[in-house]
Amino acid sequence: MPPTPPPQGLEVITVDSPRAAILHRKAKPVRVITRDIQSLIDQMFMTLERAHGLGLAAPQVGVSERILIAKVEEQKIVLVNPQMLRQEGETVATEACLSIPGLLGDVPRASRVVVRGRNRHNRGVKIEAEGLLARVLQHEIDHLNGILFPQRVRDKKTLRSPDEAAQAAVPVK
């Protein structure tokens, strides 16, 4: 009998999918962290790994619940029912999204944040983050509130394809 192939993760819902409406709705709070929720979290990490992303929110895999995961610089984070406690400073940086393939944009975000929520074991956690992790947490919390990154872009002229961004980065001789 051949070995069972490893699970491949979940389908990422994109803005052009028939199921895209979930991306524009506020997700529901998780009442109890069950084995099913823990399994969903594991599948979300598999999906994130497969997609080479930094963060993923449950609505992006078709589940309208307030769950996000992130993996930034080998730090793995799970937040259930996250709440933004504090935002400080501002930086503008280029963002992309697994649910909006082929689009980049320059998005202003707080440079430092404090977020609280529950981990996969239902323990309260508080995360103080800056830089890239702060950006990823804000991006994923936006997903839980039905907000996509192009809605945060101040200058719509910065919305571009990855090809356009690569061409702009190559000096012309």
CATH of the domain at 152: 3.90.45.10
In a domain, residue 15? The reply is no
For 5-60, the pLDDT digits (tens) are 445 689 999 999 999 999 999 999 999 999 999 999 999 999 999 999 999 999 99
Q: Please state, rounded to an integer, the average pLDDT across all residues of the chain.
A: 92
Parallel/antiparallel/unpaired status of strands 67-72 and 105-109: unpaired
In a domain, residue 136? The reply is yes
In a domain, residue 126? The reply is yes
d(CA 141, CA 99): 14
In a domain, residue 12? The reply is no
- Among candidate residues 11, 128, 140, 164, the one labeled active-site is 140
For residue 167, pLDDT over 90 is answered with: no
In a domain, residue 139? The reply is yes
For 97-125, the pLDDT digits (tens) are 999 999 999 999 999 999 999 999 999 99
Runs of H (alpha helix) within 23-113: 35-51
Give me the phi and psi of 170, to 5 degrees please: -90, 120
In a domain, residue 8? The reply is no
In a domain, residue 70? The reply is yes
Annotation says 140 is catalytic: yes
pLDDT at position 4, please? 45
Number of domains observed in the structure of the chain: 1
Domain residue limits at 135: 20-169
pLDDT at position 164, please? 73
pLDDT at position 166, please? 63
